[in-house]
């Protein structure tokens, strides 16, 4: 009888262990890969969850920030340290109002990048492009236009490399080569890095640049469907302080923006760059060598 009990207990322990492993240990969205374009996959890597431990400050929740008095949340306009040197780009961002950062990876792309810019410009709004250096070489005019219009230019490495699979020297070379292209076009390096596939591996983040991921993944590369992109964003609920991941490559993403941008504006959101979001919503200047991930932009 005692041995029967032991067997039952062992079986229960094993069943619980299997449930635990199958339900909790896989990062959402990490297993799906597109098969037709190495540029169009954004995985959520375990490494980034590990790296969120490097966050400089605990994030403020939107509910908390709205209850803070305007005086306490005053942007540092008198002491402007905006790395772009062009705070607000004439848009008069109100730190006490809702704001969200749209981001577009894997470009530049002709014509999608231009169409994205045109839609946002129509609403006096900005966003952040995480461009690939090798593509910037092909479409320098688009990168130049992004910067001229006030969009934030982030790096997505030179060749859309999985930095986790490279040595530190190789990873640095990917960053430097991309920046050489960006500097040759715009006169300055990228202000942020978004690692392809959200992957930094077990390495410490690259020390020369703030590393930014996202908080809402639209899976636009997967669905290629404007309605599904909109549905994911609307299902998210409160978007204040969040970073939305999209891509520059797909007409369906452009189509979604034609609905999304007016939807956000009508709901009181200011559409800002990632650095503006950090500055005005969280009161931070993003720091090199720090990963700003899901736990920050929430
Ligand atoms: Ni990418």
Catalytic residue among 131, 160, 240, 247: 247
* Contact assessment for residue 83 and residue 154, using Cβ atoms and an 8 Å cutoff: no
Statement: residue 217 has pLDDT above 50? yes
Bridge-based pairing state of the strands 128-131 and 211-212: unpaired
Task: Mark whether 247 is an active-site residue.
Answer: yes
* Contact assessment for residue 139 and residue 106, using Cβ atoms and an 8 Å cutoff: no
Return the H-helix or E-strand segment holding 291.
strand 291-292
Percent residues over pLDDT 90 in the chain = 63
| Alpha-carbon gap, residue 286 to 131, rounded angstroms | 19
The confidence score (pLDDT) of residue 208 equals 87
Task: Mark whether 105 is an active-site residue.
Answer: yes
What's the distance, Cα to Cα, between the start and end of the chain in Å? 53
How far does the centroid of ligand 1 lie from the alpha carbon of residue 157, in Å? 9
How far does the centroid of ligand 1 lie from the alpha carbon of residue 80, in Å? 32
How far does the centroid of ligand 1 lie from the alpha carbon of residue 131, in Å? 9
pTM above 0.75, yes or no: no
117-176 pLDDT per residue, tens: 999 999 999 999 999 999 999 999 999 999 999 999 999 999 999 999 998 889 999 999
How far does the centroid of ligand 1 lie from the alpha carbon of residue 199, in Å? 10
Catalytic residue among 40, 105, 162, 240: 105
How far does the centroid of ligand 1 lie from the alpha carbon of residue 156, in Å? 7
221-251 pLDDT per residue, tens: 999 999 999 999 999 999 999 999 999 999 9
* Contact assessment for residue 108 and residue 131, using Cβ atoms and an 8 Å cutoff: yes
| Alpha-carbon gap, residue 133 to 34, rounded angstroms | 21
How far does the centroid of ligand 1 lie from the alpha carbon of residue 143, in Å? 16
**Which residues make Cβ contacts (< 8 Å) with residue 234, sequence separation at least 6?**
263
Local confidence band at 22 (pLDDT 50, 70, 90 cut-offs) = very low
Question: Which residues have beta carbons under 5 A from ligand 1 (an ion)?
Answer: 105-106, 196
Percent residues over pLDDT 70 in the chain = 69
Burial of 78 (0-12, 13-18, 19+ CB in 10 A): exposed
């Amino acid at each position: 009888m005692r041995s029967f009990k032991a067997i039952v207990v062992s079986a229960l322990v094993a069943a619980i262990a299997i449930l635990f492993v199958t339900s909790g240990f896989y990062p959402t969205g990490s297993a799906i890969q597109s098969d037709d374009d190495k540029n169009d996959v954004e995985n959520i890597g375990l490494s980034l969850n590990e790296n969120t431990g490097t966050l400089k400050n605990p994030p403020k929740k939107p509910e908390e920030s709205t209850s803070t008095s305007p005086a306490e949340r005053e942007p540092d306009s008198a002491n402007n340290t905006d790395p772009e040197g062009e705070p607000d780009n004439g848009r008069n961002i109100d730190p006490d109002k809702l704001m969200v950062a749209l981001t577009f990876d894997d470009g530049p792309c002709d014509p999608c990048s231009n169409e994205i810019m045109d839609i946002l410009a129509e609403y006096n709004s900005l966003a952040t492009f995480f461009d690939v250096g090798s593509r910037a070489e092909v479409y320098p005019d688009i990168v130049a236009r992004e910067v001229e219009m006030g969009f934030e230019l982030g790096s997505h490495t030179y060749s859309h490399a999985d930095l986790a699979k490279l040595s530190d020297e190789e990873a640095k070379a990917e960053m430097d080569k991309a920046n050489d292209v960006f500097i040759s076009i715009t006169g300055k390096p990228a202000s942020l890095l978004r690692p392809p596939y959200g992957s930094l591996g077990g390495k410490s983040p690259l020390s020369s640049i703030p590393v930014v991921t996202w908080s809402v993944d639209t899976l636009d590369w997967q669905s290629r469907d404007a309605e599904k992109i909109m549905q994911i964003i609307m299902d998210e609920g409160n978007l204040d302080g969040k970073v939305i991941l999209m891509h520059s490559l797909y007409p369906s993403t452009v189509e979604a923006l034609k609905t999304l941008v007016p939807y956000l504006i009508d709901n009181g959101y200011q559409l800002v760059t990632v650095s503006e979001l950090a500055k005005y919503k969280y009161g931070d200047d993003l720091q090199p060598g720090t990963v700003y991930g899901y736990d920050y932009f929430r």
